[in-house]
Chains A and B, each alone.
Chain A
Amino acid sequence: DQQVKQNSPSLSVQEGRISILNCDYTNSMFDYFLWYKKYPAEGPTFLISISSIKDKNEDGRFTVFLNKSAKHLSLHIVPSQPGDSAVYFCAASYYGSGNTGKLIFGQGTTLQVKP
């Protein structure tokens, strides 16, 4: 049961353009969502998060949008830079009902930003 899905395994964009990474979830209990970036041979690095009480959170070049009715979130990177090339993971969590805030991850999307 894949509760968090990233349906695009890969994405390629030109430097300076917008990168949009998408994520869908099925569990309506999720109330906190995160994006992580991962380079080869490194652990995931936290990028940005959003609580379910918001529909947008922005941090520099990174913006996360949450559409609760569609159970969909997206990460926008503007402008994209070659150093953004990495695997991006969407994750979700919630506390309560016996759940301890564990992170449920999607499968990841590999972003390539071409110079």
Chain B
Amino acid sequence: ETGVTQSPTHLIKTRGQQVTLRCSSQSGHNTVSWYQQALGQGPQFIFQYYREEENGRGNFPPRFSGLQFPNYSSELNVNALELDDSALYLCASSLKGMNTEAFFGQGTRLTVV
């Protein structure tokens, strides 16, 4: 059983640039969710993907977008980066429609300068 993996682990970008973060979900899981964790805060839900379609979205602007691929892996894209986008981005995989635990990757630390 493979766990959730994210890449890269760290990233530094300049304000206004675009970034793509990647996630491989846990074997057998069909749903991927992305969370943003600012310093000193709990993770905040960005959006969720199921069957390659967005299946719920948190309070994040449209410049945050995503993709899910047939193998259930996923990408998070952020356009027009702002300084406040600096955070830990977490990917979590789970099974849709079931109240079960979500398993998280180690996260990508994004710094916008």
Contact = CB atoms under 8 A, between A and B. Distances in A.
B21 interface: no
Contacts of B43: 44, 89, 103, 105
Contacts of B97: 95, 101
Nearest to B43: A105
Contacts, number: 70
Contacts of A6: 42
A23 B97 CA distance: 25
Interface residues of A, number: 28
17 contacts: A34-B102, A36-B104, A41-B106, A43-B104, A43-B105, A44-B43, A45-B104, A46-B102, A49-B99, A49-B100, A51-B99, A91-B42, A102-B58, A103-B43, A103-B92, A107-B42, A108-B40
Interface of A: 4, 6, 31-32, 34, 36, 41-46, 49, 51, 89, 91, 93, 95, 99-108
